[in-house]
Structure 1
Amino acid sequence: PIFEEQFHPSSYGYRPHRSGHDAINKATMFIRQYDLKHVVDMDLSKCFDLLDQELILTSISRRVKDGSILRLIKQFLESGVIVGGNWQATVTGSPQGGVISPLIANIYLDAFDQEMKRRNHRLVRYADDILILCHSRKGADNALKQATKLLEKDLKLTVNRSKTHITHSDDGVKFLGVEIGSNYTTIQAKKLKSFKVQLKALTKRNGGKPLQRVIKELNPKLRDVAEECIPILSSLLRTQESRVFG
């Protein structure tokens, strides 16, 4: 709660009462209602592993003054990892899978969110998945340069240039497993193919499994498909309503 009130409204990952669906809907709104169709899609390399521990503690200490809590967080960051059965000290990053690691990442990246807001950029961030949405290609080029400088120089992270690019919503924006177009939303082809392969493997006739076991294994997969489809269906309904009712 101490940090939640300060976080950027377009940050959605690992926050209470927010979801990937909300992030998809926000990006869709920016594209279709705000006409921000030139989109910077940024990918960070090993974000959790590269968080600078000094910057983490500095960011947290601005809101938390209790020295004992800060020491506990420092111990958590330096708790190390087991590699090949051997313990190794950690001098950068926050342990992946750690209970507070997602919160630490949000605290760390909030500096980026707020600075981009100060520069009047529209963004949607889900953990380390970042979209910056712009009116023009020139604006997107400028946003990419500014964002890269902030992330690499100020926050000491690494932008994966091979996976970072600028696209137009007419060509589809891939985000959190879906593809958002100027007037359509669909599940990404590779994700849909993965679902089909998994479902086919579970339902093949020569599997030799009892029916009840097949149903038990199938239900979670079907729930996954349904959860992916919910934001898409709601987006399609809103699009149709706007066409009918203006």
Structure 2
Amino acid sequence: MARSVFVLTGAGISAESGLGTFRDKDGQGIWARFDPMKLATPEAFARDPDNVLAFYDLRRRNLLNAKPNAAHQALARLEQALAKRGGHLTLVTQNIDDLHERAVSRRVIHMHGELLKARCQHCGSVRLWPEDLSPSDVCPDCGRAGGLRPHVVWFGEMPLFMDDIDRALRKADLFVAIGTSGAVYPAAGFVAEARAHGLRTCEINLEAADNADLFDERRYGPASQTAPAWVEEFLGALP
């Protein structure tokens, strides 16, 4: 029985908390309604910072009103239960929300950054920033204005903590993807890496992801139902 579990979460785990997915097969995701090249690239921010910041201000306000759902809470239980049995959960999320933390998951790797933080392009400092951002805001660390941006990974930028993620994949016994589209790399490639390392793989999703054929086990339905059911079954099988 796996004692070291690697879980990758995507926008589908937060959808039932009122946070929209970026891509779905019905064409209703965020990037179907907004042009990411105008809102989620370094070039867009340099060209029109007011518009980019306004978009993220709206998303930040939406996040502050959201609450973790049963899927987030189930993963927090999984982390605690594994720790009590001498095991370990690596929780990597593509989401920029903080719902895993609010569900009391202790160690979360945000490979795409965090919406409630701001990063200064002048000095590189990262600060908690739950308020709106403006081009006139001054960095508390270097005192310069015009450089504060959301601490999120935009198109064309490298995801964060990739070395940590690679090491965790190599040490895991089981790979589980929850609420991911299987369309965004490098995260979509993790399942192939997991298989190459000999890990068993499990997909938990509303519907089959683009890379569903790479999973040994597949469970479909709303994350708030499928994820807790899987966690309870998994924990029930532990010695």
Range into which the TM-score falls when normalised by the shorter chain: under 0.3
Q: Which one has the bigger strand percentage?
A: 2
Query: Larger radius of gyration, structure 1 or 2?
Result: 1
TM-score by length of 2: 0.23
TM-score (norm 1): 0.23
